[in-house]
Amino acid sequence: MIAEMIALQNLRFSFVEGTGFRRLMNALPKYKLRGRDYFFSFVCDNLYNPLAKKVKDLLVEFDKLSFTTDIWFDLHSGISLLTLTAHGISEDFCKKNKILKCEVMDERHTGAVISIKFQAILEEWRIHHQKDCMVRHRGSNMVRGMQLAGLEDISCTIHQIQLCIRAGVESQEWLLQLTTKLRKIITHFNHSLVAQAELIKIQKECLNQSASSVIQDCPTL
């Protein structure tokens, strides 16, 4: 149950060695408290491997698989991650998708490294013969990685549209000035609990609206 909680809640394995968890376990004096190594082994052997087999059995149903991938930085853990998701349509036109890997990227994000990572993931899941097309962003390292891996690839349409929108906004000086002012306003509210409370009060009491927080945009690169 503890191992399942770690997996479902995306907790660190060191969680079981924390003071709060150990105090909680003191309520169960007959329970022998284990360390992080035990739970790491248990999650991999007893939870991950059986689940991975089920996913492999599911992937066999598809003649061809398309993939989406991205590299992103996790602020919580301070690491870069390469993700790969498989998409397939069954004979009865049922669309399914599964995240196959969330790989830590310790090395430089070069095309060669990305290529090796993809080849290893495809080999791990034994789906080389099913690969159809890879949808990726247009970063030069990702494009090069696809070329070296010998994978058919295409740029993400949504990403392309976002880049067009960004270029359009940046071509208008008045829009740049407006968005700069708006970001400063949003930053003020995000860094002040007093300002947030006052904003909520105005929305509810003066405008008779439900409370809504301000949203900081994240430009697409």
Q: Where are the domains of the chain?
A: 2-56, 62-155, 157-221
Using a cut of 0.75, tell me whether the model's pTM lies above it.
Answer: no
Could you tell me how many residues make up the chain?
A: 221
Burial of 145 (0-12, 13-18, 19+ CB in 10 A): buried
- Are 214 and 189 spatial neighbours (Cβ–Cβ below 8 Å)? yes
Q: Tens of pLDDT along 27-57?
A: 888 888 888 888 888 887 888 888 889 999 9
Based on its alpha-carbon atoms, the radius of gyration of the chain, rounded to whole angstroms, reads: 23
As a whole number, mean pLDDT of residues 177-197 equals 92
Question: Averaging pLDDT over each range in 42-46, 58-62, 71-75, 217-221, which range is the top one?
Answer: 58-62
CATH, domain range 62-155: 3.30.420
Q: Categorize the per-residue pLDDT at 220 as very low, low, confident or very high, splitting at 50, 70 and 90.
A: low
Please determine, for residue 221, whether its predicted confidence score (pLDDT) is greater than 70. no
Bigger pLDDT: 186 vs 32: 186
So what's the pLDDT on residue 92? Answer: 85
